[in-house]
Structure 1
Amino acid sequence: MSIATKVLDLLTGDEPNQPRLTWYGPDDERVELSGRVLANWVTKATNLLVEEGEVEPGSRVLLDVPVHWRALVWAMATWCAGGELVLPAEEDEVLDDDDVDDEPGYTDLDEEETGDLDDDESVFVPDETAEEPDIAVTARPSGAPAAGLVLVVALPALAMHVEDPIPAGAVDAAAALMTYGDHLGFVQEPGGDDAALSGPEISGSSGGPVPYGELADWCREQTPACHRDEEHPRVLCAPRDHVEMLAHAVAAWRAGGSLVLLGEDVDSSRFDAIQAAERAAVRC
Structure 2
Amino acid sequence: MNATDRTPADLLHSALADDPSRPLVTYYDDATGERVELSVATFANWVAKTANLLQDEFSAHPGDRLALLLPAHWQTAVWVLACSSVGVVADLHGEAAGADLVVAGPDTLEEARACPGERVALSLRPLGGRFPEPPAGFVDYAVEVPGQGDRFAPYVPVGPDAPALALPDGDELTGAQTVERARADAAGRGLGPGSRLLSALPYAGWDGLSAGLLAPLAAGGSVVLAPRLERLDAASLEQRVENERVTHSAVPRNA
Mark yes or no: TM-score above 0.5: yes
Aligned letter for 2:203?
D
Equivalent of 2:14 in 10, 17, 34:
10
1:79 aligns with 2:103: no
For 1:198, the equivalent position in structure 2 comes to 166
Quote the Cα distance in structure 1 between the aligned partners of 2:155 and 2:207. Answer: 27
Q: Once the 2 structures are TM-superposed, how far is the Cα of residue 265 of structure 1 from its aligned partner?
A: 6.2
Q: Once the 2 structures are TM-superposed, how far is the Cα of residue 225 of structure 1 from its aligned partner?
A: 1.5
Quote the Cα distance in structure 2 between the aligned partners of 1:7 and 1:66. Answer: 22
Larger CA Rg, structure 1 vs 2: 1
With normalisation by structure 1, the TM-score equals 0.76
1:244 aligns with 2:210: no
SS of 1:78's equivalent in the other structure is helix
Quote the Cα distance in structure 2 between the aligned partners of 1:15 and 1:190. Answer: 24
Aligned letter for 2:40?
G
Quote the Cα distance in structure 1 between the aligned partners of 2:173 and 2:152. Answer: 25
For 1:94, the equivalent position in structure 2 comes to none
Q: Once the 2 structures are TM-superposed, how far is the Cα of residue 11 of structure 1 from its aligned partner?
A: 3.2
1:143 aligns with 2:110: yes
Relative to structure 1, is the Cα distance of residues 236 and 83 closer, same or farther in structure 2, using a 3 angstrom cutoff?
Answer: same
Relative to structure 1, is the Cα distance of residues 213 and 16 closer, same or farther in structure 2, using a 3 angstrom cutoff?
Answer: closer
Deviations 1:56-89 (A, max 9, x none): 2210011111111111011111111111110117
For 2:217, the equivalent position in structure 1 comes to 253
Relative to structure 1, is the Cα distance of residues 165 and 278 closer, same or farther in structure 2, using a 3 angstrom cutoff?
Answer: same
SS of 1:235's equivalent in the other structure is strand
Residues 40-119 of structure 1 mapped to structure 2, 5 A cutoff = 40-88=45-93
- Number of aligned positions between the proteins: 238
Asked if the contact 1:20/1:258 (under 8 Å) is kept, the reply is: yes
Q: Once the 2 structures are TM-superposed, how far is the Cα of residue 266 of structure 1 from its aligned partner?
A: 4.9
For 2:100, the equivalent position in structure 1 comes to 134
With normalisation by structure 2, the TM-score equals 0.84
Asked if the contact 1:219/1:246 (under 8 Å) is kept, the reply is: no
Q: Once the 2 structures are TM-superposed, how far is the Cα of residue 42 of structure 1 from its aligned partner?
A: 0.6
Q: Once the 2 structures are TM-superposed, how far is the Cα of residue 38 of structure 1 from its aligned partner?
A: 0.6
Quote the Cα distance in structure 2 between the aligned partners of 1:201 and 1:173. Answer: 28
Asked if the contact 1:57/1:190 (under 8 Å) is kept, the reply is: yes
Quote the Cα distance in structure 2 between the aligned partners of 1:6 and 1:63. Answer: 21
Root-mean-square deviation (Å):
2.3
Quote the Cα distance in structure 1 between the aligned partners of 2:170 and 2:9. Answer: 22
Of Structure 1 and Structure 2, the greater helix share is in: 2
Equivalent of 1:271 in 231, 234, 237:
237
The percentage of counterpart residues that share the same residue type is 27
- Which sections of structure 1, spanning at least 5 residues, go unmatched? 90-104, 106-125, 204-208
SS of 2:50's equivalent in the other structure is helix
Runs of 4+ in 1 over 6 A off after TM superposition: none
Q: Once the 2 structures are TM-superposed, how far is the Cα of residue 202 of structure 1 from its aligned partner?
A: 4.0
